[in-house]
Copies of this chain bind each other. A is one copy, B any other.
Amino acid sequence: MRSEAEKKQLLQRLKRVEGQVRGIQKMIDEDRYCVDILVQVSAINAALKKVGYKLLEDHTRGCVTNAIQLGDGEESIDELMKVIQQFSKS
């Protein structure tokens, strides 16, 4: 389970990402230069990657660690590896 402080931090980051996505819509609407828009899209991706790595870390320290301590890590690690690959390719 995420602490309230962690939740608050993740929500703040995602609020900012939401604003950035709206910002790009505005840029497209105003026919702004493609390269400037692409730089913004890259910035959002990078911000979402950070959110993802934070979730991945919390998950490994929390759920995966608990499963391993209960002698039941196999399935949990299968799932972890699968989501790491999916996330890394995105």
Contact = CB atoms under 8 A, between A and B. Distances in A.
Contacts of A86: 38-39, 42
Assembly of this chain: how many copies?
4
A89 B87 contact: no
Nearest to A67: B68
Contacts of A61: 73-74, 77
Interface of A: 1-2, 7, 10-11, 14-15, 17-18, 21-22, 24-25, 28-29, 31, 33-35, 37-39, 41-46, 48-49, 51-53, 55-63, 65, 68-69, 73-74, 77, 79-81, 83-90
7 contacts: A1-B31, A11-B28, A14-B21, A48-B48, A60-B80, A60-B81, A68-B68
